[in-house]
A and B are shown apart, each in its own frame.
Chain A
Amino acid sequence: MSALASVVGRSRVDVHTFDGPVLAASAWPALNVEGRRVGVFASSADNGDVLLEIVKRADLVKVFHRHPGHVLPSLPLARLAVRSPRVARAAGRWHLRVAIRDKEMRRQLTPVRTRTVTVSNRWYRAMRRPNCQLITWPVTGVTLRGVRTADGVEHVFDMLILA
């Protein structure tokens, strides 16, 4: 599932309505995000490395992420844990509890139905940074200026990234 489809959950939202650059995360080394407001559509924690780099440089990053999976720390034992879904889920819950202190963000990042397991040290580190916001509201549209969510708010950006 593409980053946009996983967040939006419908096909009618056209990301190219946005009057600014819309880029793939793979284009990261060429991106200039310094001092910019960046909207990131993230389908999973796979791009934790890229996200952390963006968050370090950008002025403000909002991550649109609706179906969080289990995220394990990048440790040798964690790689073994991935092989057992039950152990992986337990380890993922522990990692979330340890890595995210904000109760509401922890609730937002708690997997409900998703069983995906990702190994990343940087996903939660990126989320913890004060200039990074997690948005779990459904996306209702992409506008000229940014992204509109179902809570009625339009988030204004200089650039959108599909991670």
Chain B
Amino acid sequence: MIDLDATLEKIQDNQWGLGDFDWDSPGAESIRPDQRDALKQFMGDLVWIEHIGARGFAALAAKAEDPTLAEIYAWFHAEEQRHANAELALMRRWGMVADDEIPEPDVTMRVVVEWLDRNAETMPLGGLSTLIAMLEVCLDGALVTFLLDEVDDPLCHDVFAHINADESRHLAVDFHVMEMLGMRPWVRESLRLAASVANPRLLLGIALFIPVIGQVREKVEGMGLSADRLHRAIRRFDEVGSRSPYTRRYLPYVVLRQHARLVVDRRQPYGAIADRLGQLTRHVPKRVLGPLPEWVDSLTSRPTA
């Protein structure tokens, strides 16, 4: 368990901004022409994942009953936005986007943005915080370490050192919340969760989540990320959560841990189902989705406004 007041203070004391970096410093030329296209795609997805994560924290901030936890989530909302902004600034530095350009999200990502815009507030706090924890473990443990192995630009390493320091605090709070919720009476909490999951909108969200995760895995594997790295990240989620008897029995954690194992194990039929869902999602016509919601406008690669 962590002291939330002390954690909030630590978060507030460790803030950084885009203006702390020299975006014109040498190193941008280290991006090789052969890695440019795949890296652009990868970074674009990363920006959107962070931006979507920010929206998730905004929903958590509105749901948390404890005012200190709500305030922490409000800061995390802003921090995830900062990560997206910093990654966008890296893309601009590498000449992958123009000054005020935002990378075009693919259809699957668009569907998630649209769903999140309408339904983030309906998601139960426990399920959403556990999902965010799992995604952050994968992001930290697999995707970002992979990126840093591939890219030699020193500024990229510096930016991600700051992002990772933020993410480690996010994870500490995520696991704290899981443990806290796991302490509640198991049957009552599980019934409450089952009742909230019975919401058709939420079921649609879960169905959307499957192809998105599958596609991100597919893309990063296509770039050369070894399945081993993803296994290690999931094992970390497993190990850290299993340290506490309360987290270990907490239903959303149990379900998502099992799901994560299915995602990385290609021998399971789950992989084929996720691939098929991914193909289906890719066929959703863009005009059905309409314009991007207004909160997307808050993305910026500029240190000053």
Q: Residues on A close to B: CB < 8 A?
A: 9-10, 12, 66, 102-105, 107, 112-113, 137-138, 140-141, 145-146, 148-156
Contacts and interface: CB of A to CB of B under 8 A. Distances in A.
23 contacts: A66-B74, A104-B294, A104-B295, A112-B62, A112-B70, A140-B12, A140-B17, A148-B15, A148-B17, A150-B15, A150-B78, A150-B81, A150-B82, A152-B19, A152-B82, A152-B86, A153-B17, A153-B303, A154-B17, A154-B18, A154-B303, A154-B305, A155-B305
Which of B15, B85, B300 has the most A CB atoms < 10 Å from its CB?
B15
Interface of B: 12, 15-19, 61-62, 67, 70-71, 74-75, 78-79, 81-82, 85-86, 293-295, 297-298, 300, 302-305
Contacts of B298: 151
Contacts of A12: 12
Contacts, number: 73
B19 A154 contact: yes
Given A138-B78, A140-B15, A150-B75, 16 more contacts: A10-B12, A104-B294, A104-B295, A104-B297, A138-B75, A148-B17, A150-B78, A150-B81, A152-B19, A152-B303, A153-B302, A153-B305, A154-B17, A154-B18, A155-B304, A155-B305
Contact of B71 (A9, A102, A152, A153): A9
A140 B81 CA distance: 14
A137 B19 contact: no
A102 B295 CA distance: 10
A137 B67 contact: no
A151 B81 contact: yes
A59 B295 CA distance: 23
B74 A138 contact: yes
Nearest to A66: B74
A103 B74 contact: no
Contacts of A112: 61-62, 70
A151 B78 contact: yes
Nearest to A8: B12
B60 to A, nearest CB: 12
The 8 closest A-B pairs by CB, nearest first: A150-B78, A104-B294, A152-B82, A140-B15, A151-B81, A152-B17, A152-B18, A137-B78
A154 B302 CA distance: 9
Contacts of B12: 9-10, 12, 138, 140
A137 B81 contact: yes
Contact of B293 (A104, A149, A155): A104
A140 B17 CA distance: 9
